[in-house]
Structure 1
């Protein structure tokens, strides 16, 4: 592996409830199952990248509660470098997730310790790491924007490639696009970032975004994904798979893309690998338990190659 994957992001404990359907306002439903597992977009992407073979470092903040201790132990078992994982007083991040019989989910996140991640602390940690052009920095928007900006700024300063998974989208994040080498968004977030309405064709939206970011990747759920640069326009159709839970599918996709950047994969190989990583994840419940390992992903790609077309 020629470089390292540095993830700057959130750590959550996911309280997952399986429900037959989403409740109406004022209605009480009985869950058909429940679990308490590791989550948070930062932690999910760190775990996914580690399972795909990348050397992973993680800058984040956790609380001093029992849930946070469990999260720390799980991340440590994945072989992730946690020397810059800050511990703060109070509760760690929590996510309450409903997953219905069709695999759709609704998520409410309480930031907890994630809100304590500061830009200055991120800058200090990243300078100590002595990043270089071989490294990839991966961040999201579940942490305070100053921390995201610090991560992208230091990455740009050191020549490391900057990947922003701009979710959940916030209008204040628009200024961060100038610092990105790669933008990963779903269709809704792409339209929000471009400032257009829901009727705008997604191909046109992606083409507009690439005026601001060199590489734009738009995930389309069961339809696959688009990858757009100034000179390339690729679409990869997703395989038809049984959907159990879509939680963390986007994180698996983004991590596979980041690992492909580290390894110098072609654009066609990059988008196909990322789409299959997401497709494997949706077939299992939960966030981190559902993330695939490299051997599984490689075997699946070899057995069921995806078609990537230019448009």
Structure 2
């Protein structure tokens, strides 16, 4: 397949991304104002400061400026009557949002705790087979999944064939993934993920020595965990970790430019740009697909004869 001329793709990309800039923020800003008690503003028209960088929030979240979009969002703010306040919302740790699924499975974490401060991560344990008393004590390993994944990534692909190993394995659902807490008042920083693994696994189970196995985004969390607890980590395995050659630019900006450059061609590049620059895309997918996951599961079960 021949690629279209460069000038044509550049003009088309500018038009498409300008349209997305306005449409997504405008639509979700309006809907959040109508359906949410305390709407949470998206990052793309927020302000960034050095204090946030010190707090572990990437500056790339605030690099998506659009004068047209900002003007429309100010108009939306005047039209829609906003009820409550962000401070009240933070106290409630509200979730799920109107665009999220509210079935029993997706809200199970709320019965364990109202937020990431008092809740714990969900994890799956794979115990080694029982051996005689003279057998050596089993080792421990923590498995950390990547983006758009969960503990089932390891539980279904690895644990089934690892029962003979003398190793106790823990596959964790990271904060905001799977059956773990998804509090609306959390920034989902690297520190938040590391703290929750400590609070949910390392401290309560008294893990004094363990291996780390991680995939993709989980590799970053595994490295941070190993750096914080070098005396506890026996080994670390990184599967498909994000990697960039060293340069003078900030790593966050390098990642955004190389992985998410605003291009329409090739199609995979366009998909990366959309997913990286527009946080509302995730909510759109959630609204169209995830919120109806029970329906999709029933249909798939009918088509495949199994879950």
Pairwise TM-score range, normalised by the shorter structure: under 0.3
Q: Which has the higher helix share?
A: 2
TM-score, normalised to structure 1, is: 0.27
TM-score, normalised to structure 2, is: 0.28
Larger radius of gyration: 2
Q: Which has the higher strand share?
A: 1
